[in-house]
Structure 1
Amino acid sequence: MTQKLRIHLQSNPKAPELFRMTRERYRAAAKRQPEIARRVTCTIATDKNGFYRAMPRAEVLVGWGFPRKALDVTAPNLKWIHIIGAGIDHFLPLDWLPKKVKLVNNKGVHVPKVSEYVVMSLLMLANAVPSLVSQQQKRQWREIYSTTIRGKTLLVIGTGHMGGAAARKGKELGLHVLGVRRTPRPHRYIDEMYAPSDLLQILPRADFVIVTAPLTSQTRGLLGKRELDAMKPEASLVNLGRAEVVDYDVLRSKLKRGHLKGAVLDVFDSEPLPASSPLWKTPNLIITPHVASDDAETYMPLTLDLVLENAGRYLDKRRLKNLVVPSREY
Structure 2
Amino acid sequence: MSATNRAHVLLWTDAATAYLDAIQAAGLADRVAVDTLPRKEKPSPEQLARTEVLMAGAVPPGLLPAMPRLRWAQAMSAGVDNWLALPDLPPALTLTCARGTHTESMPENIIGALFHVAKPYARVAEYQKQSKWVHTVAQPLTGKTLGILGLGAIGQEVARIAVALGMHVIGTKRRPTRIPNVAEVLAPSQTDEVLAQSDFVLLLLPATPETENFIDAKRLARMKPTAWLLNFGRGQIVDDGDLMAATKDGKIAGALLDVFRQEPLPSEHPFWTAPGIVVLPHIGGPHPQRDRFVSRLFVENLKRFLDGEPLKEVVDRTAGY
Residue number in structure 2 paired with 1:328:
319
Paired AA for residue 324 in structure 1: V
CA distance in 2, matches of 1:39, 1:291: 37
Paired AA for residue 193 in structure 2: Q
Matched-pair identity in %: 31
Normalized against structure 2, the TM-score is what?
0.89
Residue number in structure 2 paired with 1:312:
303
Residue number in structure 1 paired with 2:291:
300
CA distance in 1, matches of 2:30, 2:184: 46
Q: Is the 8 A contact 1:10 1:66 kept in 2?
A: no
CA distance in 1, matches of 2:123, 2:175: 36
Aligned counterpart for 1:55 among listed residues 40, 48, 54 = 48
Residue number in structure 2 paired with 1:7:
9
Q: Which moved more, 1:250-259 or 1:318-327?
A: 250-259
Q: Is the 8 A contact 2:37 2:43 kept in 1?
A: yes
Q: Deviations over 1:251-289 (max 9, x none)?
A: 222323333223221111221112212211123332111
- Indicate yes or no: 2:95 matched with 1:113: no
Aligned counterpart for 2:159 among listed residues 167, 186, 189 = 167
The 3 A distance-change label for structure 1 pair 135 and 211 is farther
Where does 1:105-254 land on structure 2 (aligned, <5 Å)?
Answer: 105-128=97-120, 143-254=135-246
SS of residue matched to 2:161: helix
- Indicate yes or no: 2:15 matched with 1:21: yes
- Indicate yes or no: 2:253 matched with 1:261: yes
Residue number in structure 1 paired with 2:96:
104
Q: Deviations over 1:48-101 (max 9, x none)?
A: 5534321211111111232442734x2222121111111111223455222321
Q: Is the 8 A contact 1:10 1:51 kept in 2?
A: no
Residue number in structure 2 paired with 1:83:
75
CA distance in 1, matches of 2:112, 2:174: 27
Q: What is the CA-CA distance between 1:129 and the residue it aligns to? A: 5.3
SS of residue matched to 1:269: coil
Q: Is the 8 A contact 1:130 1:285 kept in 2?
A: no
Q: Deviations over 1:109-148 (max 9, x none)?
A: 1111101101111122222557767988999986542342
Q: What is the CA-CA distance between 1:228 and the residue it aligns to? A: 0.7
CA distance in 1, matches of 2:250, 2:121: 14
CA distance in 2, matches of 1:253, 1:39: 57
Q: What is the CA-CA distance between 1:195 and the residue it aligns to? A: 1.6
**Structure 1: 4+ residue segments shifted above 6 A:** 130-142
Q: What is the CA-CA distance between 1:41 and the residue it aligns to? A: 2.0
SS of residue matched to 2:202: strand
Q: What is the CA-CA distance between 1:27 and the residue it aligns to? A: 3.3
Q: Which moved more, 1:315-324 or 1:62-71?
A: 62-71
SS of residue matched to 1:30: helix
Q: Is the 8 A contact 2:159 2:182 kept in 1?
A: yes
Aligned length: 318
CA distance in 1, matches of 2:211, 2:96: 20
The 3 A distance-change label for structure 1 pair 95 and 185 is farther
Q: Is the 8 A contact 1:130 1:262 kept in 2?
A: no
Structure 1, unaligned stretches of length 5 or more? Answer: 12-19
Higher relative contact order (CA 8 A, sep 6+): 1
Paired AA for residue 52 in structure 2: E
Q: Deviations over 1:209-231 (max 9, x none)?
A: 11010110011111110111111
SS of residue matched to 1:55: helix
The 3 A distance-change label for structure 1 pair 278 and 29 is same
Normalized against structure 1, the TM-score is what?
0.87
Paired AA for residue 108 in structure 2: E
Q: What is the CA-CA distance between 1:318 and the residue it aligns to? A: 2.2
Residue number in structure 2 paired with 1:45:
37
CA distance in 2, matches of 1:258, 1:185: 35
